[in-house]
Amino acid sequence: MPNTKADSKNFKLVELIAQLRDHIDVHRIIGLNITALRESKISEALFGYLQKSAQESLAIYICKIFESSTRNELNSIPGIIESLPLMNLSDSPKREFATFGQKYGKSFPAHRSQVLSKRDVRAFLWAPLRVT
């Protein structure tokens, strides 16, 4: 069954990531072409400003992508995880969940039979994203 709330949040997250990529591209294009740009009649101050703005936007978009909030519904990774419904896992998804955890450093017993709480799922899925 599709989860339209999570799907909608996923699409919004993809938009944020695309905008993040745009800012990375602006910064890189200026940096890679600085010699040619210095020879042009366009002010170096303008290119410096554009690069600085792109860097500031990168910081903002990275924060938006990973932001967590208990007060507001966000289209961030934690917001998407929070919007997922609770569900009983059959044997196959349990094994896949356990394999994912083993691959990314969070153990989760494949034999676990109870319903997962949102806190369990959030902690499990968030673990690989945490910077240590």
For 92-103, the pLDDT digits (tens) are: 777 777 777 677
Separation of alpha carbons 55 and 59, rounded Å: 7
pTM: 0.64
Separation of alpha carbons 111 and 90, rounded Å: 10
Do residues 78 and 102 both lie within one domain? no
List CB contacts of 126: < 8 A, sequence separation 6 or more.
77, 78, 81
Mean pLDDT of 53-66: 92
How many domains is the chain partitioned into structurally? 2
Separation of alpha carbons 21 and 66, rounded Å: 15
Q: Write out the residue range of the structural domain in which residue 29 sits.
A: 4-82
Mean pLDDT of 42-50: 89
1-10, 25-34, 73-82, 85-94: least confidently modelled range = 85-94
pLDDT attached to residue 132: 47
pLDDT at 1 over 60: no
Exposed e or buried b per residue across 109-127, where buried means at least 16 C-beta atoms within 10 angstroms of its C-beta: ebeeeeebeeeebbebbee
Do residues 9 and 68 both lie within one domain? yes
Do residues 46 and 103 both lie within one domain? no
